[in-house]
Amino acid sequence: MDTRHCEKLPKVLTFSFTANNAQNESKPVKLIAAACNNMGIGLNGYLPWRLPNEFKYLLDKITTVTQPGKKNLIVWGRSSFETFDEKLLPLRNCIIVVLSRTLRSLPNHVHYICKNEEEALQLASTPPLNEEIESIWSLGGVESYRTLMQHPWCNQIYFTKIMADFKCDTFFPDFDREVFKIVEGYPGVPAEIQEENGIKYVFQLYQRDQTNEINQGY
Ligand SMILES: NC(=O)c1ccc[n+]([C@@H]2O[C@H](COP(=O)([O-])OP(=O)(O)OC[C@H]3O[C@@H](n4cnc5c(N)ncnc54)[C@H](OP(=O)(O)O)[C@@H]3O)[C@@H](O)[C@H]2O)c1
C-alpha cells in the first residue's frame, strides 16, 4: 500500500489560521467517548468493559452520513487504532486518519497518517477531500480528545456515561461544561438508562453553547 502522509500539506498551521481562513471550509468536529465514574476510558491499551450495544452505538454514529456519497473522517490516535478490532474494518462511509509521529507506512485500512490534529482538519477541509467529507469524528485517545475539544469547529461530544467503577489508567480530559452543555432529547441519542452485562450506562450529547462562541469571538 502506498504511504499518504499529511506532511505534504503546509506544516505551520494554527487553530486561528484555519478557523478564519476563508479558503478552508470548516467541518463539524465531533468527539465520541465512553467513560466510567472516575472518567476512566481505558486500561492496558483496551477498553475496561465489554458493552457490545454501546460499541454498536459508536459504530452507528461514526458511519452515518446524511448526504449520499459523503464520508466521515475518523481521527484516531495510533494506540486506539491498533487495539480496534481489525475484523470491523474497513468502516462504511469512513476515511481513516491515524495520528502518529513515528509511523512511516500506512497500516491496513488506514488512508492517511497525520502528525497532529491540525493536519487532519486541514486534510478534511481543503481539496480534494473537502467535497467528500461531511463530519470529522475524534475517537481518542486522550491527547487528540483534549486538543480537538478546544478547537472552534468542535461542536458536539457524544459521551456515554458508564455508571460504574472500573480500574483505569487512561482518562477522558476535563471539559468546560459552560462551553459544552448537555442537550436533552437530542435525535438519535436514547434518553433511557441502558443496561448490559449488569452495567448501567446512559448516552449523552454535549453541544457547544453558541452564546459562548459569540462571546469568545469565533
Ligand atoms: N472509552 C473510550 O471511549 C475510549 C476511546 C479511545 C480510546 N480509549 C482507550 O484509551 C487508551 C488509548 O488512548 P491513549 O491516549 O493512551 O493513546 P492514543 O492517543 O490512542 O495513542 C497514542 C499514540 O497516538 C499518537 N498520537 C496521539 N495524539 C497525537 C497527536 N496529537 N499528534 C501525533 N500523534 C499523536 C502517538 O503515536 P506515535 O507513538 O506513533 O507517535 C501516540 O503515542 C486505550 O486503553 C483505549 O482502549 C477509550
The predicted pLDDT at position 5 comes to: 65
Instruction: Examine the pLDDT at 179 and tell me if it is beyond 90.
Output: yes
Give tens-digit pLDDT for 77-104.
999 999 999 999 999 999 999 999 999 9
List of domains in the chain: 6-10+23-216 (3.40.430.10)
Residue 160 Cα to ligand 1 middle (Å) = 18
Which residue's C-alpha comes closest to atom 37 of ligand 1? 100
DSSP letter (8 states) at residue 28: -
Give tens-digit pLDDT for 10-63.
332 333 334 444 457 899 999 999 999 999 999 999 999 999 999 999 999 999
Measured CA to CA, the distance from residue 32 to residue 50 in angstroms comes to 17
pTM: 0.91
Measured CA to CA, the distance from residue 136 to residue 162 in angstroms comes to 24
Helical (H) or strand (E) element with 58: helix 52-63
Residue with cell 458508564: 162
C-alpha dihedral sign at 164, 200, 140, 79: positive
Cβ 103 under 6 angstroms from ligand 1:
yes
Cβ 173 under 6 angstroms from ligand 1:
no
Residue 77 Cα to ligand 1 middle (Å) = 4
Cβ 160 under 6 angstroms from ligand 1:
no
The band of 211, judged by pLDDT with boundaries at 50, 70 and 90, is confident
The band of 210, judged by pLDDT with boundaries at 50, 70 and 90, is confident
Angle in degrees, 0-180, between the axes of helices 117-125 and 142-149, rounded to the nearest 10: 60
User: Residue 124's closest CA among 81, 157, 95?
Assistant: 95
Question: Residues 147-169: what's their mean pLDDT?
Answer: 98
Residue 212 Cα to ligand 1 middle (Å) = 29
Residue positions annotated with a catalytic role? 47, 54
